[in-house]
A and B are shown apart, each in its own frame.
Chain A
Amino acid sequence: MSERDAHIPAEVISYLLTFLPVKSLLRFKCVSKPWLALINSPDFIKNHISRSLKTNRNLTIILGYASSIYSADFDSFQDNVAYPTKLTPPLSPSIDAPILVLGSCNGLLFLSTTLKDSIIWNPSTRKHQKLPPTSIEYPCGRFVWHSETGFGYDSVHDDYKVVRVTQFHLGWEDDFFQNEVKVYSLNSNQWRKIQDCPYFIRYLKLGGTFAGDALHWIAGNSPRLGTANQVAAFDIRSEEWHLLPLPKTLAGDFFMNLVVLGECIGLFCNYYRDHVDFWVMKEYGVRESWIKICSVVQPTHIQSFEQVKPIGYSNDGKQVLLEQNSSCLVWFDLQEKSVKSVRIHGGPKYFNTDVCLASLVKLPYSDVQQVHQKKKTQDRGNPKAGPKRDDFLSSGFKLVL
């Protein structure tokens, strides 16, 4: 090429590179030192994510079941086929402790087998950060309890956080409840206890729904069954709780679930065996911006279904990919109300789905942890080796399952 190409300004190269997939960028780190610095820079990584979200590219669909998780490129879904390939996250699942996908944000997956075996993993760069275990402070007396977690990005502090809400209550007939909220920061690799949540989070779903800079769970004012469902929202930046206003015309008897569609929070309302409504909040927090994007009557449009979960829009925004009965994926045309199956080649027969971006987001402690892990394995082989490195998982933490 002529000398003209040597004069491509750096900002144009930077802009051009945001259009590349992650695998190419990982290779092109070797092109030159300036390219390495560019591809590693936080601004570039953020711009690459924006580009992917804008163009609906670099997306994968994660199919998880039992001890395996698979990933399929979203591009092929546009042609109604999927080719899931098996992922190997650095976890040790078992029959009693399957892999749970508890969150997916900007290319990072929050995975867990048990409470003590949790990681944040970037499947595109294959780096991970292991969460230190943190105790649960149980109140006195008899009680029932459950933990809900969520994972999301704090844009104010440029940090990724895991939020764990542990609820204690006296059963489903009693109003009393208490909870403990802890927040884990990727940047500090530490857990912190924060103020309680004023709502009772219902044990309905794994993983909070992240949208509008907040994590959302189905909640109520008390554990008592039959009380109205509300949506509790935790602002991941300010770490404060509030309730998300629901559509004014929402009525009737239904099972409600939260989803993210595009970047908007959505409601999936299942009027059991009658019909299903999908609502999307176009402008986060603005009650009037709720739009019912479609209503699906069963069994006319989609065969009798128990569970339908919207996953994402097609490139032209006219169709929505749906997970149906945890066993198949279909494109639903919003206008025609028609359905097209996606042929899945390989992968698990039953699955939960999540969307995962392919990104370059870094795990700040991954290299440090890998070195410690290596040293631990080496020390085990040589009892005369230097001081133990086990203190990384500090003895100050009480390990509770």
Chain B
Amino acid sequence: MIVLNSSDGATFEVEESVAVQSQTIKHMIEDNCADTSIPLPNVNGVTLARVLEYIKKHAEAKDDEEGLKSFDAEFVKVDQASLFEIILAANYLDIKGLLDLTCQTVADQIKDLTVEEVRAIFNIMNDFTPEEEAKLRNDHAWAFE
């Protein structure tokens, strides 16, 4: 059993065979950094719990294609803020399947949004002058229809 510590002090136990779906954890174990427990300062308790839910299910139901598909579909039915947290965690823990699943979900949610809406979601400042932005929009005018 591997013990994981989240950033906010929560502790989780998970089988090593399941935990190694995270390449990051796998390398830590191989490099012998996992004697007592593994600290994960970049992931909070709530998110870590969700991530573990994913990797546990994918370990136990490995060959059940249909079952995993419906599990994944339900798994991503969370608010966008949580999705971003899971993306960051999956990236840090290097769990490819989870990263691809969550990125595809967010991509599908934002693909039809306006530029302003995307800026709001990612908290991005518009650093174009009005003229620059107008020219860019003009270049691919049909994409804005």
Q: Which A positions have Cβ atoms within 8 angstroms of B?
A: 1-6, 8-9, 11-13, 15-17, 19-21, 23-24, 26-33, 35-36, 55, 125-126
Contact = CB atoms under 8 A, between A and B. Distances in A.
A28 to B, nearest CB: 6
23 contacts: A1-B123, A4-B81, A5-B81, A5-B122, A6-B123, A8-B84, A11-B91, A12-B88, A15-B91, A15-B99, A16-B103, A19-B103, A19-B104, A20-B111, A21-B111, A23-B143, A24-B112, A27-B115, A27-B143, A30-B137, A31-B126, A35-B124, A55-B104
B1 interface: no
B136 to A, nearest CB: 5
Contact of B140 (A19, A35, A125): A125
A15 B110 CA distance: 14
B87 A16 contact: yes
Contacts of A29: 136, 140
Interface of B: 81, 84-85, 87-88, 91, 99, 103-104, 106-108, 110-112, 114-115, 118-128, 133, 136-137, 140, 142-144
Contacts of A11: 91
B91 A32 contact: no
Contact of A30 (B85, B108, B115, B123): B115
B106 to A, nearest CB: 6
Contacts of B103: 15-16, 19
6 residue pairs, one from A and one from B, having the closest CB atoms? A19-B107, A26-B143, A26-B140, A24-B111, A6-B123, A30-B115
A8 B91 CA distance: 10
A30 B136 contact: yes
A28 B115 contact: yes
A165 to B, nearest CB: 37
A118 B119 CA distance: 40
Contacts of A5: 81, 84, 121-123
Given A20-B107, A27-B114, 11 more contacts: A2-B81, A4-B85, A12-B88, A15-B99, A19-B104, A19-B106, A21-B111, A23-B143, A24-B111, A24-B143, A30-B133
A31 to B, nearest CB: 5
A313 B82 CA distance: 35
A319 to B, nearest CB: 16
Contacts of A36: 136
Contacts of A8: 84, 87-88, 122
